[in-house]
Structure 1
Amino acid sequence: MIYIKNLANIMTIFRIAGTICLCFLEPLTASFFIVYFLCGLSDMLDGFIARKTGNATEMGAMLDSVADFIFLSVMLIIFIPLLPWKLWIAAWIGAIALLRLVSLYIGFVKYHTAAFLHTVLNKAAGFFLFAFPLLYLLAGMEKTAIILCAISSLAAVEELLITIKSDSLNRDIAGYLRQKTADNKNKHDIQGE
């Protein structure tokens, strides 16, 4: 029973270990893609399993966000020296990173914890980041960068807006428009009392 209760967190920890293993594999080889795919699969399944078994926790959500951050960092370490980067792509990625850091800083000041949010746009950005090696092989660097950076930009701006506007931390918020709808409903309910 303890195993089932912690299955999602165990999967997340294995994702962190698998991500670190990617540093020691030749990029874009069969062994790299197998470990990469298993990391992505665990990312998709851990939250689903936690919710379905009734074991979703704040610690699990934070662990998942840490695993995502480690995955992103390792992907940058692997692919920055490997791929042909144009200045505009690097500048765009830098701007996204800056937005993310500002959002994390504001969230830390407001909530006294790292405020990683699991919005729909953040999940979409994560999916396209996961698909990066395949997209790169199919579409090339520029098209892949435009797709990934556009979605990541929207996700970063949305996360910053939510962090600035919300009164309390809700890591599992669907998005900014949902936040506004919920805030307006709460204001209406309070005024109606």
Structure 2
Amino acid sequence: MIINPAANCISLLRIFLAIMMLFVKPLSGPFFIIFLACQITDVLDGYVARKTHTVSKLGDNLDSIGDFIMILVLIIVLYPVIKLTIRIIIWVFVIAMIKITSTAVVFIKYRTFEMLHTYGNKFTGFILFAFIISLAFVQSNMIMYIVCTIASISAIEELLINLFSSELQINRKSIFIK
């Protein structure tokens, strides 16, 4: 398989853009422009790699690193701005622990670091995107409860797939669809 420098450069651009969000005012115009660029590059890197038949382990890892950095930056930047209840903070921590456990299971079973590309994970990403865009208009704990519920279901599904699969299936669609 040929490594696609274009797709990997798009992934690296997303990592750079995510880090740039640390240096702009949260929920400002520049913040949302950078955030939208990050989301576009997140979709575009995989699309380019698939269309050019150059999907690679490096590209997959860059995408996962980009996802991790993006979430970490968003937590750092938005935590002081969003009024989170203790219940939501604990819930986000539990989701993070489930994701870390899932990653540890993959490493123990397959000696690699991977995150699954399930429909649940993709839907969680979309809901998180919509939530952050909604912050420009309204701040609601109800929206956070919805995001956390969807993220919890997705994280548990990924953990169960990793626990009970006999082989690593990074492109498995769901626990019900292989």
TM-score, normalized by the shorter chain, greater than 0.5: yes
Residues 1:88 and 2:87 aligned together: yes
Corresponding residue of 1:70: 69
Q: Is the 8 A contact 1:61 1:171 kept in 2?
A: no
What residue number does 1:134 align with?
133
- The number of residues matched between the two structures is 177
* SS state at 1:177 partner: coil
2:176 is aligned with 1:162: no
Matches within 5 A, 1:1-193: 5-179=4-178
Name which one, 1 or 2, has greater alpha-carbon Rg: 1
CA distance in 2, matches of 1:131, 1:21: 20
Q: CA RMSD in A?
A: 1.5
Runs of 4+ aligned residues of structure 1 deviating over 6 Å after TM superposition are none
Task: Give me the whole-angstrom Cα distance separating, in 2, the residues matched to 1:172 and 1:138.
Answer: 35
Structure 2 unmatched ranges of 5 or more: none
- Deviations 1:63-103 (CA, angstroms, capped at 9, x unpaired): 10110000000000011122111011111111101111111
Sequence identity, in percent? 36
Deviation at 1:139, TM superposition (A): 4.4
Residues 64 and 114, structure 2, Cα contact 8 Å, conserved in 1? no
Structure-2 separation of matches of 1:52 and 1:126: 22
More helix per residue: 1
Residue 169 of structure 1: CA displacement?
1.0
Long gaps (5+) in structure 1: 180-193
TM-score calculated relative to the size of structure 2: 0.94
Structure with larger RCO (C-alpha < 8 A, sep 6+):
2
